[in-house]
Amino acid sequence: MRVLIIGNGAAGNQAAACIRKHSSECEIVMFARESFPEYSACALPDVLAGWIPLDKTFLKTSLDYEQLQIKTCFGQEVNNVDINKQCLEAGDKKYYYDRLIMATGSQPIIPKIDGSQLNGNFVVKTPQDIERIIDHKPTRAVIVGAGNIGVETASALRNRGCIVYLIEMQDRIMPLLYDKKPADIIQTMLEQEDIRVFTGERVTGVAGEQQVERLLTDQQEIECDTVIWAAGVRQNVELARKAGLKIGGLGGIEVNKYMQCSEPGVFACGDCVQSPHVYTGKPSLSLLWSSAKRQADVAAANCMGKLDEYEGNCSVVIEEIMGIPCVAIGLNLHGLAGYETEVIEHESEDLYYRLLAVDDRVAGFQCVGSLEGTGSIFTMIKKGTPLSEARKLLHNKGSISTMAWYMDSSRYIFGEY
């Protein structure tokens, strides 16, 4: 059996490792545009901040692929997939497959507005992007988009001593993860470190002669030498579209719960797919490392004839912002629009959290100040555990020690505590 994998990111590598676990015989060939081994995109802001060296972001060496008996065609763009002939084209060669895994990922969007091509515009996606930003020696930077990548990039550049502005079009930072109140708490934390945050503002252009000099919004002009675009990503689905695979309404490759695409023998996983949300069952884009890995496990297992089902997307984003642990799991009020949602909040001097529940089921959790209990809450949300069951589970399983802070500070959530 020969499996070809397009993509050397979290999804492609997890799929390859999982296939190898299922079979020592199977021939595995991986393709990637970049010529270097797997790296962690999540660690890139830490390099920008100066906390870790760039080489620490690489998760594999060439030897690791050899040891797993994975053939690599890195630095090779796949130009065409012929589903009928079960082959793909890269360079001037054709490669035939029994199974194909599309793990083509996503890329950051730079909008086509005035000045966005000037020297001084950047994105944060690859190790080279970080090298380019550092070589540019930014002193006044505007980060466009205050999702988690934008916020991490802003704090990283602040740590390098830059004057940093963070612009967000929505009414709050990290609008897909947090509701207004916790988002405002995090915004205050950023502002206390002198990051200048502007929400509800739309970027209209970038001005400068050869080089970025100013960023223009619908409300102001900001003098700067660097603009970093963190305003969303686009799924890499052109190859899949050209091959005749179905693309969903959200722009991701359509897959079933086995991560199978619309054509036989082809699977997909990671940022390039859209899958049902674990809670709502509606199509969603996850764009997270943990989902990419889980989807890859499912794709790999099914492609090797072992049955595995993807339970659906459930986001978990854990990060340290200005030294303070922050976590967002499941859906926020925006994601639960249309559902009658109960909000259970706790606020004390150094801890804020809110738990969202719909019909007695835990649906989302946002916390600033602690990470404890995160794993258990993630499981509860994924399983749709009712609040009452959650109470029993916590009590009986003796997980009280790991949940200690949670139980202690949220007595009223679980009634009897």
Q: Which residues are catalytic?
A: 42
CA distances from 312 to 250, 255, 330, 387 (A): 15, 11, 11, 21
- Residue 84 DSSP symbol: T
Q: How far is the CB of 414 from ligand FAD (least distance, A)?
A: 28
175 touching ligand FAD, by CB under 6 A? no
Taking contact as CB under 6 A, which single stretch among the options 30-38, 59-67, 159-167, 301-309 is the one that binds ligand FAD?
30-38
Q: How far is the CB of 88 from ligand FAD (least distance, A)?
A: 9
Q: How far is the CB of 57 from ligand FAD (least distance, A)?
A: 10
| Interface with ligand FAD (CB under 6 A), residue from 56, 69, 77, 131 | 77
C-beta of residue 270 within 8 angstroms of C-beta of residue 10: yes
Q: How far is the CB of 81 from ligand FAD (least distance, A)?
A: 9
Taking contact as CB under 6 A, which single stretch among the options 33-41, 216-224, 240-248, 255-263 is the one that binds ligand FAD?
33-41
| Interface with ligand FAD (CB under 6 A), residue from 27, 34, 64, 263 | 34
290 touching ligand FAD, by CB under 6 A? yes
| Interface with ligand FAD (CB under 6 A), residue from 2, 125, 160, 383 | 125
| Interface with ligand FAD (CB under 6 A), residue from 19, 72, 95, 105 | 105
C-beta of residue 393 within 8 angstroms of C-beta of residue 384: no
Reading the block at residue 12, the tokens are 């492609």
CA distances from 369 to 85, 147, 150, 374, 412 (A): 55, 19, 20, 12, 19
C-beta of residue 318 within 8 angstroms of C-beta of residue 288: no
Taking contact as CB under 6 A, which single stretch among the options 3-11, 56-64, 168-176, 320-328 is the one that binds ligand FAD?
3-11
What is the spatial distance between Cα 157 and Cα 141, in angstroms, rounded to a whole number? 8
What is the spatial distance between Cα 26 and Cα 146, in angstroms, rounded to a whole number? 43
In the complex with ligand FAD, the residue whose CB is nearer, 64 or 345, is 64
Reading the block at residue 322, the tokens are 């200005």
Q: How many residues sit close enough to ligand FAD to count as binding (CB under 6 A)?
A: 36
Half-sphere CA count of 26, side-chain side, radius 13 A: 27
Taking contact as CB under 6 A, which single stretch among the options 31-39, 171-179, 385-393, 394-402 is the one that binds ligand FAD?
31-39
- Residue 71 DSSP symbol: E
| Interface with ligand FAD (CB under 6 A), residue from 3, 4, 5, 7 | 7
Residues in contact with ligand FAD, shown as a per-residue x/- string from 244 to 283 under the rule CB under 6 A? --------------------------xx------------
CA distances from 39 to 8, 125, 127, 206, 261 (A): 9, 10, 8, 31, 26
* Closest to 369 measured CA to CA, from 354, 357, 380: 354
Reading the block at residue 77, the tokens are 């763009």
| Interface with ligand FAD (CB under 6 A), residue from 4, 5, 9, 235 | 9
Residues that bind ligand FAD (CB under 6 A): 6-12, 31-34, 41-42, 44-45, 77-78, 103-106, 124-125, 148-149, 236, 239, 270-271, 287-290, 292, 317, 319
